[in-house]
Amino acid sequence: MNNKKTFAESPLRWRRFSNASYAAFVSMHKEVTIGVLSVAMLAAADMKAQSTQPNVEKTVAEEATADYVLEDVEVTATRVPLTESTAPRLVTVMTRAEIQAAAVGSVNDLLEYATGVDVRQRGEMGVQTDVSVRGGTFDQITILLNGVNISSPHTGHLSADFPVSVDQIERIEVIEGPAARVFGTSAFTGAINIITKNEKDSNVSAHVYGGSYGLVGGNASVGLAKGKVRQTVSGSFSRADGDQPNSDFSQAKFFYQGEYNSETFDLDWQTGMSRQEYGANTFYSAAYPNQWEQTTRWITSVKAETKGRVHILPQIYWNRSKDHFQLIRDTHKGENFHRTDVYGVSLSGYVESKLGKTVLGADMRSEGIISTNLGKPMTEDTLVVRGEDGIYYTKRDSRTNVSYFAEHDFLLKKWTISLGAMAYNTSYLNKKMKVYPGIDISFRPSDKWKFTASWNMGLRLPTFTDMYYKSPTNQGNEGLKPEESSAFDLGVRYRSKGVEAKVSGFYHKGKNMIDWVMFTADDIFHSTAFELDNRGFDVSAQLLGREIWGDSTHFRRLSIGYSFINQERHDDVVIYKSNYALEYLKNKFVAQAEFRLVSDLSASIAMRYNDRNGSYIKYDENHVSTGEKVDYEPYMLVDLRLSWTRPKYMVYAEANNLFNKEYYDLGNIPQPGIWVKAGVKMHIPFKK
């Protein structure tokens, strides 16, 4: 049973984590050394220990304020605990309380307030979003849902299509820096793990909302908990007319997850679907304002873990994505159909000894695509595109990736040393196995301070779009080699009552870095590669009023963060215009504050400043190129949210881009001005 200790009594601190089965690291069934480059596969939460805890039904009010006090808690959610103080890397965690207080309509919007994350949105409400970290591209990051890789080998443009709404998110972990030893090759510059709720008490929740530009939507979920089984099913729908011509959208999501916990093993499963249809006004080319796209995604996974001295963790998953694109809406001009299937299976295990913790594992991932545009010409009979009369898939490609990994963690009184390597082979290249090693170290001179250092190598395979995409404005490159990097990271964290501060610096040396570029002013975009190094640092701090002054204080939380990135190329290739890799956020500043105004009325205000490197070719109002290359202008946005919170419901109103700032995340795609939204949330536990 957990024993609470006072702040002064315990030298071990864990920031905002719990031992509930839906907690971030428990849901992954791994013991994650923060920063995730060192991972020992561990058991899920001990059900006997959980049964000794009070069975509390959370209300809307409790969820909205649950994590504003940083409790001094030992992590006992796994049989072999790993505390934050002993972990060799730093990780950014966005808690449920922060998520509920933010004026956001999607997971993509929420990530905009993570200091080291670059979010480039083409449409509102997460319609089409590129997510990257530390100056990388959207193809260089792994997206996980409850620890399962849902990244798309088709294109990273579609990796952030989530089958869950913001209301279903328990927390988000942002891992900055290569994580290939843990999550595979696509975690080239980092990983984002979305953790969903699977509460231990039966309940029903609902949320309806509306706003500017014809926005209406809602979602509902039902949680069922009985004995050793917990299940949650949720669904959502939203639509809007959009703030620009041909920027309308509709979204539908469905998600089901469950878990079974016994004395001998744990079992987790999930399945979900997301479907989006939207007017893609100048999304991929400013010369075509009437583009249109429809995307559909299915995800399914099952994973288990045995209990005992040796823990065995099998996992299997399947992801399917379908994409229908029209260069001119409601015509066959520039029309493409793609279907991507990813199958994965892994088996790992860990054992603890006097020398520390040792983990061994293997992973196999099969990636395949059939398309009207991407891949090699089919030699057999063509396949019909379901639902389309007389249209056939004519191209295909596939590859199988196999990796083996081994790691050992030395846990000493003031030190943690983690050594590991991933051996990797892909049918994309040849049968030769390559090894990518790494080391992570943390030093803890006291319970308030932690210093970290690491060195890791990583790689990323080009997407099918990088290799094959061809259009009037783009040309892929089948000869691309995998990207490779050698990355160094340093970090320090300070934690005391109500105060936390972190600083981290990095240097990533990149080889064969892939980008879409124009070589001359009258060129099209070509998929090419060059040598590129990234260096920079992140600084963040937060002050928690309730932990310092108690529940009666009106001040709840203040957080600030700043990141700086600088790139340097090491080749002689002359490039006129980069479309992605060289258009990084050079400076980013974020700040958030939350207050209780009167009684049950609360307010949160957030500001973010983005200063992007790079430029775009300006098009006039007739969508004709002016030939003028324009630098991205820095911009600052302010979001405001007011909420009235009662035990079983919440009423809120919010305004995004409060001061109606004109800005661009990607050239010639104007983002919405002020967008006002309002809604009602309800959460009703079932009576026992």
The predicted model gives 336-365 an average pLDDT of 91
Question: Does the structure show a pLDDT above 90 at 681?
Answer: yes
Higher pLDDT: 501 or 574? It is 501
Contacts of 380 (CB under 8 A, 6+ apart): none
Question: Does the structure show a pLDDT above 60 at 2?
Answer: no
Question: Does the structure show a pLDDT above 70 at 449?
Answer: yes
Question: Does the structure show a pLDDT above 80 at 3?
Answer: no
Cβ atoms of residues 643 and 602 within 8 Å: yes
d(CA 615, CA 610): 14
d(CA 121, CA 627): 24
DSSP letter, residue 381: -
Q: What are the phi and psi torsion angles at 464 (to 5°)? A: -65, -30
Higher pLDDT: 9 or 380? It is 380
Higher pLDDT: 13 or 437? It is 437
Question: Does the structure show a pLDDT above 90 at 30?
Answer: no
Strand boundaries in 478-523, DSSP class E: 483-496, 499-518
Question: Does the structure show a pLDDT above 80 at 610?
Answer: yes
51-65, 254-268, 411-425: range with highest mean pLDDT? 254-268
pLDDT for the residue 370: 96
Compute CA 594 distance to the chain's CA centroid, rounded to the nearest angstrom. Answer: 24
pLDDT for the residue 96: 83
Tens-digit pLDDT profile for residues 164-186: 998 999 888 888 888 777 777 77
- Pick from 392, 374, 375: nearest CA to 384: 392
Instruction: State the DSSP string of 240-255.
Output: E--SSTT--EEEEEEE
Question: Does the structure show a pLDDT above 70 at 56?
Answer: no
- Pick from 80, 115, 67: nearest CA to 561: 115
